[in-house]
A = this chain, B = another copy of it.
Amino acid sequence: MTREGHMEISAPDVMPEAVFEASSHLETFDDMIVECPECGESHRADHLVEDNTDIEEAESLPTDEIADLLAEHDVACPTCGGPLAGEPVDDFNLMFETNIGPGTSSPGYLRPETAQGIFVDFPQWAEYARNQLPFGVAQIGKAYRNEISPRKSIIRVREFTQAELEHFFDPDEDEPPLHRVEDVTLPLYPVAEQEADDGEIHWLTVGEALKEGVIGSDWLAFYLGLSKGWYDRIGVDMDRFRYRQHLPGELSHYATDTWDAEAELGGDWVEITGFADRGSYDLDKHAEHTDEDYTVFKQYDDPVTVERPTVDPDMSYLGPEFGGAAADVADELDALVAHNPDAFDGETVTVEVDGEAYDIPVGKTGFDVEEVTESGEHVRPHIIEPAFGVGRLVYTVMAHAYEEDEVDGEPRRLLSLPPEMAPTTVGVFPLMDRDGLDDRARDLASDLREAGLDVAYDESGAIGRRYRRQDEVGTPFCVTVDYDTLEDGTVTVRERDTTDQKRVPTDDLAGVLRALRDGDRSFEVL
């Protein structure tokens, strides 16, 4: 993200209630809960409906309808089998609550997404960006959701790592550099295909998808195009990957369009990233709740002269005429002229204060149309948000890298991770743990670590067994120190996927391994 020139920040995990009032998480970030009267276990009521009926998007139904469905289908508690019919279905807020400081007067919440920490401090980021749109602010950090029933391994957990980018841009002016991605081919699964009986994935370039209207927003298309190469590079299997557009009923209330990057995992398609067009919703909400205006001042190339209708009410008339209501009447005139100057076209103008109508002769309002020169305008940016679930990504990369094959007639399990993704880049083994081979191998391991490589040293068991250990955890290269090493200073380097071996001088080893890891050299032509 910083390669695109964006900033990276780290906002607090615990934030005060006011933030989530503004973001509407306090009011709407709920799941539906039903408690078993027999065993006391709580369950997600909409999931129970989905598991026990043909209904697919139960989340969008109201709680009382869910309660009716539980009764109608005689849904039983998955824990104890007790009946759930007649039990109330409630909204359960998914934010973890705590108190900031002593006492209970300052409730706080663990952030349910990293995004709000970016939105709430937008005025600060705009200042850092010297008020120049577009700019992006990224954050990698924990998000917390008090799930009613976490499940599916690490797919749905209560604490997870998010990587979010909020890209702020002027919707009237800023264009993405589409030329960089227009030829990238995307596996797209748009709404129309999902709704068709035999819907299929469309392979379209970014350029085609925009031209055919499959993707409606240039900025969304840009980020889909940009991200695809990255998924490929980190090891997501492109045959088990797609971009799926949200169905109309699935869209968050703030989003105008959303595409999920999805990976196939164990037969299910799982969201690994959401790309949402959030419009100006988030900044609108935070602006409503604070004195900050959450805009960027956009300077015009040349100052512009505009006509602006104004009032300057004659208080010496309004005071005696309307008494205590005079000041409020003046305020209402002020508000009226801004949004409906035509109201001042007649002889009198009427405003309402506390439910009562007041007629004021236009001559007493000081109505006038001034010429004003403006050097720019305040723009509230729109937002495109790519939000990555880091745990799900790691899980996908591991699942897609898992392979089984045979080596020397024996079954082998391996993680075929791209070298730059492997937790350990190189395993270092002495052929035997004696005759100085072990000391030499330990020194070599230490040198390779100094050179910035991730190294595992292993001297226990047969060499084949040691290779197997590294294959299982995805280590792409293993180096063996043998008797020839003591004589000619070369070692055997063995590649994980092919099990091919080459001799490399120890003097060049760190450089060669780094180049292999970074993709600057290939093992075949070593």
A142's contact among B130, B142, B148, B450, by CB below 8 Å, is which? B142
A279 to chain B, nearest CB (A): 28
**A contact residues, total (Cβ < 8 Å):** 38
The segment from A94-102, A245-253, A498-506 that touches chain B is A94-102
Interface residues of chain A: helix, strand, loop or mixed (majority): mixed
Contact A146 B100 (CB under 8 A): yes
Residue A103 at the chain B interface, CB threshold 8 Å:
yes
Number of copies: 2
Chain B residue at minimal CB-CB distance from A141: B142
Residue A360 at the chain B interface, CB threshold 8 Å:
no
Contact A14 B158 (CB under 8 A): yes
Contact A148 B42 (CB under 8 A): no
Chain B residue at minimal CB-CB distance from A469: B130
Contact B457 A5 (CB under 8 A): yes
Residue A217 at the chain B interface, CB threshold 8 Å:
no
Contact A3 B101 (CB under 8 A): no
Contact A102 B33 (CB under 8 A): yes
A454's contact among B2, B103, B142, by CB below 8 Å, is which? B2
Residue A412 at the chain B interface, CB threshold 8 Å:
no
A202 to chain B, nearest CB (A): 31
A164 to chain B, nearest CB (A): 17
A42's contact among B98, B103, B454, B457, by CB below 8 Å, is which? B103
Residue A81 at the chain B interface, CB threshold 8 Å:
no
A454 partner residues in chain B, CB cutoff 8 A = 2
A110's contact among B2, B98, B457, by CB below 8 Å, is which? B98
Residue A24 at the chain B interface, CB threshold 8 Å:
no
Residue A449 at the chain B interface, CB threshold 8 Å:
yes
Residue A144 at the chain B interface, CB threshold 8 Å:
yes
A14 partner residues in chain B, CB cutoff 8 A = 96, 110, 144, 158-159
Measured CB to CB, the residues of A under 8 A from B are: 2-5, 10, 12-14, 33, 35, 42, 92, 96-103, 108, 110, 130, 142, 144, 146-148, 158-159, 161, 445, 449-450, 454-455, 457, 460
A sample of 12 more A-B contacts (CB under 8 A), given A3-B450, A92-B102, is A2-B449, A4-B449, A5-B457, A10-B161, A12-B159, A33-B102, A42-B101, A96-B98, A96-B100, A100-B146, A102-B148, A130-B460
